[in-house]
């Protein structure tokens, strides 16, 4: 059905996708901006095409540049990776119109999940628990006040076109509800050209727990357990793990069943993630569905032994999914995102030449990266330069290995988040697993005071 895959992305994920292609005998086409000529994703591709200048809008975000590259190289499928065009339904549609296989879900499903209010309504119909809130968008600041009084404070005002926390406001005092509404609307309008908002009750200090699903587009769906992504700062995830320290086998079973039922109800195809908030009493609520492979997918791969990117390709080729009972979780995996950033300076980006680069190794250690010694990190893109993923029989063993691997990971010439991760792995709250989505920010705040 297809033989040559163009990877419409850069960096570690482009390399990751090409590895899966190679493993099942597919040939690969890399695309690159002029800033990425020397990246490993270009070197390891069978063919590569320059698609434009460093600015992403003129290269990795340009459907025209990418479709031209596909035509030049004769690629018959496109894998979008994550970010850039991965959740752009128009691009998915353009691929299909050019008879290039889109390795991802149906463009209509991408669109539906992109509208967070519509996604929520669809998930209610599919039997997913959601946070109580407005039925669809809220028309005015006055209506927001009425709803806030009805549901009770605190409430969260969110952008219909949002996600990742943009255009979101927490209201803890009813006197602020109108201002919060107007500000969130202006922010959403500026960011997404859509100022529509919805409202729901706020969950206090929730955990972020997400279920990895895979569908065949014919109503069959399986899940690969959960990932806990509560260790994050300003909506940027820093450490992810699987299983979640807060999820019991019974809860996993229940969340997994909920997620697969919901994904099956929309005939989901390919890899997807259902994001849930988990409160202190173990109630979970659907938040959003991500219709792409995610940065943190390797932690799921380490505990299930499944190659999720390979499964994305196989589903697109029409293969059958594994059976749910053949997906077994074993041990514990932790991922640390290594960013070219200085955590001591508010995570200020630190691009530049990598003078020393020594990767960790040994049992239970995996590193996904496009970087090598002598490479220059360009300043134009997100600052993820490597993902360190470790596995252990238990969470304790995984933490010990993670510290060992971080201490072997030597980077000179730029600042990275490695020292920050080493610090996090020493904190009492992380060791006991007693964290929530505001924890890192509160911790950093404390540190800067002392």
- List residues with catalytic annotation: 292
The encoded tokens of residue 245 equal 């320290």
Q: How far is the CB of 200 from ligand MV4 (least distance, A)?
A: 4
Question: Of the listed pieces 66-74, 199-207, 321-329, 383-391, which binds ligand MV4 according to CB under 6 A?
Answer: 199-207
Task: Give just the sign of the alpha carbon dihedral 349, 297, 285, 289.
Answer: positive
Binding range to ligand MV4, per CB under 6 A, among 164-172, 254-262, 303-311, 419-427: 164-172
Candidate residues 41, 120, 169, 208; the one interacting with ligand MV4 per rule CB under 6 A: 208
Whichever of 232 and 273 has its CB closer to ligand MV4, that residue is 232
Q: What is the CA radius of gyration of the chain?
A: 22
Q: Give the separation between CA 332 and CA 302, rounded to whole angstroms.
A: 8
Compose the 31-50 pattern: x for residues touching ligand MV4 by CB under 6 A, - for all others.
--------------------
The binder of ligand MV4 chosen from 437, 439, 440, 443 (CB under 6 A) = 437
Q: Give the nearer residue to ligand MV4 in terms of CB position, either 77 or 287.
A: 287
Footprint of ligand MV4 on residues 331-350 (CB under 6 A)? Answer: none
Q: Least CB distance from residue 144 to ligand MV4, whole Å?
A: 14
Q: Which residues have a Cβ under 8 Å from the Cβ of 205 and sit 6 or more positions away?
A: 280, 436, 437, 438
Residue closer to ligand MV4 by CB (options 202, 211) is 202
Determine, following the binding rule CB under 6 A, whether residue 216 of this chain makes contact with ligand MV4. no
Tell me the three state secondary structure of residue 28: strand
Measured from the CB atom, is 65 or 277 closer to ligand MV4? 277
For the chain, the maximum distance between any two Cα atoms, rounded to a whole number of angstroms, is 62
Burial zone of 326 (CB within 10 Å; 0-12 exposed, 13-18 middle, 19+ buried): exposed
Helix, strand, coil percent values for the chain (each to nearest 5) = 35, 25, 35
Which residue is closest to ligand MV4 by CB?
A: 437
Q: Select from 65, 159, 202, 266 the one that contacts ligand MV4 (CB under 6 A).
A: 202
Binding mask 271-300 for ligand MV4 (x = CB under 6 A): ----x-x---------xx------------
Q: How far is the CB of 163 from ligand MV4 (least distance, A)?
A: 6
Among 13, 70, 112, 156, binds ligand MV4 (CB under 6 A): 156
C-alpha to C-alpha distance for 129 and 172, rounded to whole angstroms? 23
Q: By rule CB under 6 A, what count of residues binds ligand MV4?
A: 18
Task: Supply the DSSP symbol for 399.
Answer: H
The residue among 284, 256, 296, 286 whose CA lies nearest residue 123 is 286
Q: Which stretch binds ligand MV4 (CB under 6 A): 60-68, 122-130, 160-168, 307-315?
A: 160-168
Collapsed DSSP state (helix, strand, coil) of residue 431 = helix
The string over 411-432, giving b where at least 16 C-beta atoms fall within 10 Å of a residue's C-beta and e elsewhere, is bebbbbbbebbeebbeeeebee
Q: How far apart are CB 296 and ligand MV4 at their closest, in Å?
A: 12
Among 131, 138, 209, 333, binds ligand MV4 (CB under 6 A): 131
User: In whole angstroms, how close is the CB of 114 to ligand MV4 at the nearest point?
Assistant: 13
| CB-CB contact of 8 with 32 (8 Å) | no
Residue of 49, 128, 203, 435 interacting with ligand MV4 (CB under 6 A)? 203
The nearest distance, CB 437 to ligand MV4, in angstroms, is 3
Q: How far is the CB of 234 from ligand MV4 (least distance, A)?
A: 8
- Which residue reads 């849930």 in tokens? 276
Rounded (10°) angle between helices 177-192 and 141-151? 120
Smaller CB separation from ligand MV4, 101 or 293: 293
**What is the nearest approach in angstroms of ligand MV4 to the Cβ of residue 132?**
9
Please choose, from the candidates 259, 250, 251, 248, the residue with its C-alpha nearest in 3D space to the C-alpha of residue 224. 259
Residues 233-262 that bind ligand MV4 (CB under 6 A): 235
Give the 3-state secondary structure of 59-125.
Answer: CCCCHHHHHHHHHHHCCCEEECCCCCCCCCHHHHHHHHHCCCEECCCCHHHHHHHHCHHHHHHHHHH
Binding residues for ligand MV4 (CB under 6 A): 131, 156, 164-165, 168, 200-203, 206, 208, 232, 235, 275, 277, 287-288, 437
């Amino acid at each position: 059905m297809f033989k040559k895959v163009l990877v419409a992305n850069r960096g570690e994920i482009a390399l990751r996708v090409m590895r899966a292609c190679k493993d099942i005998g597919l040939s690969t086409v890399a695309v690159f901006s002029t800033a990425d000529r020397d990246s490993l994703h270009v070197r390891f591709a069978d063919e590569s095409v320059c698609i434009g200048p460093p600015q992403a809008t003129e290269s990795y975000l340009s459907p025209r540049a990418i479709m031209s590259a596909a035509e030049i190289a004769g690629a018959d499928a496109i894998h979008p990776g994550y970010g850039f065009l991965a959740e752009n339904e128009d691009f998915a549609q353009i691929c299909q119109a050019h008879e290039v296989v889109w390795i991802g879900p149906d463009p209509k499903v991408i669109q539906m999940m992109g509208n967070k209010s519509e996604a929520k309504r669809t998930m209610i119909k599919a039997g997913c628990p959601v946070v109580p809130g407005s039925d669809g968008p809220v028309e005015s600041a006055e209506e927001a006040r009425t709803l806030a009084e009805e549901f009770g404070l605190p409430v969260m005002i969110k952008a219909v076109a949002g996600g990742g926390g943009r255009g979101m406001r927490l209201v803890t005092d009813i006197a602020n509800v109108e201002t919060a509404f107007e500000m969130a609307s202006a922010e959403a309008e500026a960011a997404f050209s859509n100022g529509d908002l919805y409202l729901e009750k706020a969950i206090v200090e929730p955990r972020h727990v997400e279920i990895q699903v895979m569908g065949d587009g014919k109503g069959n769906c399986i899940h690969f357990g959960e990932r806990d992504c509560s260790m994050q700062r300003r909506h940027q995830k820093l450490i992810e793990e699987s299983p979640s320290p807060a999820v019991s086998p019974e809860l996993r079973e229940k969340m997994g069943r909920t997620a697969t039922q919901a994904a099956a109800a929309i005939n989901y195809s390919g890899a997807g993630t259902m994001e849930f908030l988990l409160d202190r009493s173990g109630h979970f609520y659907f938040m959003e569905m991500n219709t792409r492979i995610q940065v943190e997918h390797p932690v799921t791969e380490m505990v299930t032994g499944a190659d999720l990117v390979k499964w994305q390709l196989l589903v697109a080729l029409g293969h059958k999914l594994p059976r749910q009972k053949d997906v077994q979780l074993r041990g514990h995996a932790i991922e640390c995102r290594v960013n070219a950033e200085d955590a001591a300076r508010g995570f200020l980006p630190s691009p530049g030449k990598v003078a020393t680069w020594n990767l960790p190794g040994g049992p239970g250690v995996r590193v996904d990266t496009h970087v090598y010694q002598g490479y220059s990190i360009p300043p134009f893109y997100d600052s993820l330069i490597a993902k360190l993923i470790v596995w252990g029989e238990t969470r304790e063993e995984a933490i010990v290995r993670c510290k060992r691997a971080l201490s072997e990971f030597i980077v000179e010439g730029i600042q990275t988040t490695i020292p920050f991760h080493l610090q996090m792995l020493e904190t009492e709250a992380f060791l006991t697993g007693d964290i929530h989505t505001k924890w890192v920010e509160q911790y950093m705040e404390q540190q800067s005071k002392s």
